């Protein structure tokens, strides 16, 4: 009986009255929808459009805000000996990820691929630090506090090589001291010593204890000489870990190969 009365009242309501009844509810729902849409648009990250492109190496468009800070490091330059160092990206879907470095003089041209360099902190971009008769040296970061050096050769075999966790290097002698990956799995530190002129790499295994981290170094001093490299370190005594001990090693090289 009651339900029949309610149904009769609803049937007798005019179309105008129904619209008038639902208008405030519709307005509230519409307002909330617009508000949510604007919030999502505001919070949505900027999308980097990655079109296929031509696949060719092109100059970096520093007006693109996705490259903010890159120009502070990726600066085209010419060395004192006339070698041109230029930075490129590839015109494809990797344009915001990878970096390419070209070094050239006359008809001699080399290209080094820096994978994901633009995805990392800007100081991971290699920057020219110097040169000698046979090589060009570029420095960059490789971890929090870690240093790396990119070597670009000037002779016909134009294959660059990047060394991470560099302790020290010397441009005059073309020698580098760095921590290889296998050093991080041992208690006694291992260091690699490279002579680029001779194309020789030798490893030094210390006797005492050290827990290596890229940002912490146990090497106190490095002496570079055209015929040898000498390392001085402060380590933990393997027989008494609560005590420190001094240890040194020398790596000797033969005649230069080039």
- Mean pLDDT by 10-residue block, N- to C-terminus, for the chain (258 residues)? 49 46 42 39 44 88 97 98 98 97 94 97 97 97 88 88 95 95 77 94 91 66 96 92 92 73
Q: What is the pLDDT of residue 24?
A: 45
Per-residue model confidence (pLDDT) at position 203: 93
Query: Residue 84 and residue 161: Cα distance in Å, rounded?
Result: 18
Dihedrals phi, psi of 190, to nearest 5 degrees: -120, 135
Which neighbouring-strand residues pair with 245?
235
pLDDT for res 197:
92
- Cβ atoms of residues 99 and 118 within 8 Å: yes
């Amino acid at each position: 009986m009651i339900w029949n009365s309610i149904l009769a009242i609803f049937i007798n309501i005019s179309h105008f009255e129904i619209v008038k009844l639902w208008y405030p509810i519709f307005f509230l729902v519409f307002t909330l929808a617009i508000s949510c849409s604007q919030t999502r648009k505001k919070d949505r990250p900027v999308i980097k459009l990655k079109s296929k492109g031509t696949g060719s190496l092109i100059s970096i468009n520093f007006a693109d805000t996705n490259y903010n800070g890159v120009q502070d490091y990726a600066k085209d330059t010419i060395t004192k000996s006339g070698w041109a160092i230029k930075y490129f990206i590839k015109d494809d879907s990797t344009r915001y990820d990878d970096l390419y470095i070209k070094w050239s003089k006359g008809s001699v041209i080399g290209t080094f691929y820096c994978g994901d360099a633009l995805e990392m902190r800007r100081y991971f971009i290699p920057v020219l630090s110097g040169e000698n008769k046979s090589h060009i040296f570029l420095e960059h970061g490789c971890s929090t506090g870690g240093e790396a050096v990119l070597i670009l050769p000037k002779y016909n075999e134009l294959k660059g090589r990047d060394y991470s966790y560099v302790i020290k290097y010397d441009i005059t002698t073309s020698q580098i001291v760095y921590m290889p990956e296998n050093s991080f799995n041992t208690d006694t530190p291992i260091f690699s010593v490279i002579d680029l002129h001779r194309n020789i790499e030798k490893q030094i295994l210390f006797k005492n204890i050290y827990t290596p981290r890229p940002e912490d170094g146990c090497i106190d001093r490095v002496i570079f000489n055209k015929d040898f490299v000498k390392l001085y370190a402060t380590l933990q005594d393997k027989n008494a870990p609560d005590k420190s001990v001094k240890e040194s090693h020398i790596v000797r090289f033969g005649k230069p190969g080039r």
